[in-house]
Amino acid sequence: MPAYHNICSKLDRALVAYLLSLNLGTPDDILPAKRAATRSLPLTVCFTERADPIPNTGSYTCRATILLKSHAADTSPAASDARTAATFDAFHTILDHSHWDSKKIAAQITAAARAASATPGAEDLADLTLLDVRLGAQEAAYDHDGDVFVESLQLEIDAAPSNVS
């Protein structure tokens, strides 16, 4: 398959594959942004909103967000907290008990994406390469209607839509 340069879509699906590989949910409740609009809650959404080219590299610096949504009235606080903690912890890989290893998490997400590429329709993930993952802000808020609680983790990811390893 030729290179597929919609890096935002590829990265959404790679993040989904990573979370699924850790058994943090099912394909029905961990979704890329394009497929998440009409799903029931609780729900984890992987959303890459921006990709800026890194000059002369073929790679991009991407801004991605992991959104965890739950009905405020229907989901127990303990269940919501547990789901959020497990998901956020998946992006906190520690090296030598003191330093966060951004390259290791990039390699783990790349491996999950490549494993998912065996699934029909996901073949384009076989050549995605994440180079670095940096943690961003965490936020929590109610949606505009006030009935859905949303917690988020922002990531900054350097990635290449084609294999550079």
Assign residue 31 the CATH number of its domain: 3.30.2000.30
Residue 99 confidence (pLDDT) = 66
Residue 35 confidence (pLDDT) = 76
Residue 34 confidence (pLDDT) = 84
CA 125/CA 6 separation, integer angstroms:
11
Residue 150 lies in a domain: yes
CA 72/CA 78 separation, integer angstroms:
12
Residue 80 lies in a domain: yes
For 55, 130, 134, the CA distances from 107, given in Å and listed in that order, are 22, 7, 13
Per-residue pLDDT of the chain (165 residues; tens, 9 = 90+): 445 678 999 999 999 999 999 999 999 999 998 877 767 888 999 999 999 999 998 899 999 999 999 887 766 778 888 999 999 999 987 655 566 678 889 999 999 999 999 998 889 899 899 999 999 999 988 887 778 889 999 999 999 987 665
Residue 37 confidence (pLDDT) = 73
Report the phi/psi class of residue 66: left, alpha or beta, with left for phi > 0 and alpha for psi in -120 to 50: beta
Residue 2 confidence (pLDDT) = 42
Residue 2 lies in a domain: no
Residue 25 lies in a domain: yes
Give the residue numbers spanning the domain of 37: 7-160
Residue 11 lies in a domain: yes
Residue 1 lies in a domain: no
Nearest alpha-carbon partner for 84 in 101, 70, 73, 98: 70
Residue 37 lies in a domain: yes
CA 14/CA 126 separation, integer angstroms:
10
Is there a contact between 32 and 48 (Cβ–Cβ < 8 Å)?
no
Residue 1 confidence (pLDDT) = 47
Residue 90 lies in a domain: yes
CA 12/CA 31 separation, integer angstroms:
8
Q: Which residue matches tokens 């209607």?
A: 145
How many domains does the structure of the chain reveal? 1
Q: pTM (2 decimals)?
A: 0.91
